[in-house]
Amino acid sequence: MIPNNTLFQPNDPAFLSDPYPVYAQLHQQSPIFYDEASDMWYFASHRDVDAILRDRRFGRSILHLLSREELDMPPENPAYEPFEKLGRHSMFDMEPPEHTRLRSLVHKAFTPRRIQAMQATIEAIANDLLDQLIPQGEMDVLADFAVPLSVTVISALLGIPDADRAQLRPWSNAIVKMYELGHTPQQAEAAIQASQEFADYLKDLARQRMADPQDDLITALAMIEEEGDRLTEDEMVSTCVLLLNAGHEATVNVIGNGLRTLFAHPDAFDQLKGDLALVDTAIEELMRFDTPLQLFKRWVLHDMEYQGIALKQGMRVGLLFGAANRDPHVFANPDALDLTRSPNPHISFGGGVHFCLGAPLARMELRSAYRALLGRCSTMQLQEEPRYHPTYVIRGLESLSVSI
């Protein structure tokens, strides 16, 4: 282990376009390292990332234990309130016992049965999109297929009316920029405005559903009750925003990154096109091979020693999901694409109490997307080499133009 970081440079365009050679070096030289620029310890091994996600001495939030003042954070800027409020009432930014209460309430509406019932709808949405695209002879797989598919699926599940769906992607895009390492004042302003508009919109819709219940997730969320407890209006709004944002950003990128990976591995691509029964293991491998969410952070909730490092309450640590997914101690030939890899204990859906709530829906969506695309557009060709967005946490392509 070498303590000081020289390899991990998340602002370097070369690293952003292909972080995997650096991860291979980290595994060899320093899977745990300290980065002076961010004053954080980072963990690259699968064992540490998995262990920290499950260790309750680390948390997604610490404000239940320490004030902003004690954390040396500037006082909350009132202008950020619309954005901060979404986080305060979201399970994503809570720790037990508040997290347990909220996740369990949401689970009563977001049931396996409700998700399973989406199967035919998802297949129909994917096929309708391709019916329109195939006659055109070309498409941008992201803008024309992956985005409308995943926005339509999560909107249909929640019960967002068709006419309002176009607004969701810009709101979501603006908000998730705040999760990147550093953002500009303009990005913050856009995220605040989007948070306010999105929350106002959902509040109105939830009130309409309370007055006139429908068979959709918003109605179910508004109606759930567990031992006399129910979601407050703020919790309803934050949960819907979380489901809408988390529910499509990563899914879109697994379609884009995954197809790009297949184009770069023509033998594997042919193998999959020749045997669509491989799609389940292929999806897991594509999510491992080019991880859509590269970094999650955790607060150190209590002073402790972890792997010989003294961690103080209030520090933050970085978990390198993309590196953990290429750990040679867990994955044989980690830099090789093997669409039949099984078991495949990749960490792309996280672990511990915050494990992705939407994983079954995401898997169902990805299965339908890949089956439809590969089954109906098997001669698809890349039109130009795709480029990645210059962001680190959310790893995805700007576009993916293909001829069909």
Report the Cα 331 to chain-centroid distance in Å: 22
State the number of binding residues for ligand HEM (CB under 6 A).
Answer: 25
Cβ proximity to ligand HEM, 86 vs 404, nearer residue: 86
Looking at 116-124, 171-179, 265-273, 351-359, which segment touches ligand HEM (CB under 6 A)? Answer: 351-359
155 binds ligand HEM (CB under 6 A): no
Strands (E), 258-346: 295-300, 304-306, 309-311, 316-320
Closest chain position to ligand HEM (CB): 358
Position 43: which residue type? F
61 binds ligand HEM (CB under 6 A): no
Structure tokens at 175: 């908000």
CB of 248 to ligand HEM, least distance (A): 7
Q: Which of 147, 199, 250, 262 binds ligand HEM (CB under 6 A)?
A: 250
CB of 49 to ligand HEM, least distance (A): 10
Contact by Cβ (8 Å): 369, 262? no
Q: Which of 22, 52, 125, 154 binds ligand HEM (CB under 6 A)?
A: 154
For residue 156, give the H/E element and its range.
helix 147-158
Looking at 30-38, 44-52, 307-315, 347-355, which segment touches ligand HEM (CB under 6 A)? Answer: 347-355
Encoded one letter per residue, x for contact with ligand HEM by CB under 6 A and - for no contact, window 94-133 reads ---------x------------------------------
245 binds ligand HEM (CB under 6 A): no
Structure tokens at 400: 């993916």
83 binds ligand HEM (CB under 6 A): no
Rounded to 5, what percent of the chain is helix, strand, coil? 55, 10, 35
Contact by Cβ (8 Å): 288, 331? yes
Q: Which of 141, 362, 369, 404 binds ligand HEM (CB under 6 A)?
A: 362
Structure tokens at 163: 């006419």
Position 374: which residue type? L
Position 80: which residue type? Y
Q: Which of 60, 177, 260, 326 binds ligand HEM (CB under 6 A)?
A: 60
Dihedral over Cα of 252, 43, 180, 297: its sign: positive
Rounded to 5 degrees, what angle do the CA atoms 35, 40, 42 make? 75
CA distance 392 to 382: 24
- For 203, residues 6+ apart whose C-beta sits below 8 A from its C-beta are 233, 237
Strand 138-140 to strand 40-43: parallel, antiparallel, or no bridges (unpaired)?
unpaired
Site for ligand HEM in 289-328 (CB under 6 A): 292-293, 296
How many CB atoms are closer than 10 A to CB 344?
16
Concatenating the DSSP letter of every residue in 299-315 gives EE-S-EEETTEEE-TT-
Cβ proximity to ligand HEM, 109 vs 404, nearer residue: 109
Looking at 4-12, 19-27, 206-214, 343-351, which segment touches ligand HEM (CB under 6 A)? Answer: 343-351
CA distance 49 to 239: 26
Strand 316-320 to strand 381-382: parallel, antiparallel, or no bridges (unpaired)?
unpaired
Looking at 189-197, 210-218, 230-238, 357-365, which segment touches ligand HEM (CB under 6 A)? Answer: 357-365
For residue 295, give the nearest of 176, 174, 175, 179 by alpha carbon.
179
CB of 102 to ligand HEM, least distance (A): 8
346 binds ligand HEM (CB under 6 A): no
Cβ proximity to ligand HEM, 145 vs 296, nearer residue: 296
Q: Which of 175, 357, 377, 404 binds ligand HEM (CB under 6 A)?
A: 357
Cβ proximity to ligand HEM, 101 vs 376, nearer residue: 101
CB of 122 to ligand HEM, least distance (A): 11
283 binds ligand HEM (CB under 6 A): no
Residues that bind ligand HEM (CB under 6 A): 53, 60, 91-92, 103, 154, 242-243, 246-247, 250-251, 254, 292-293, 296, 348-350, 354, 356-358, 361-362
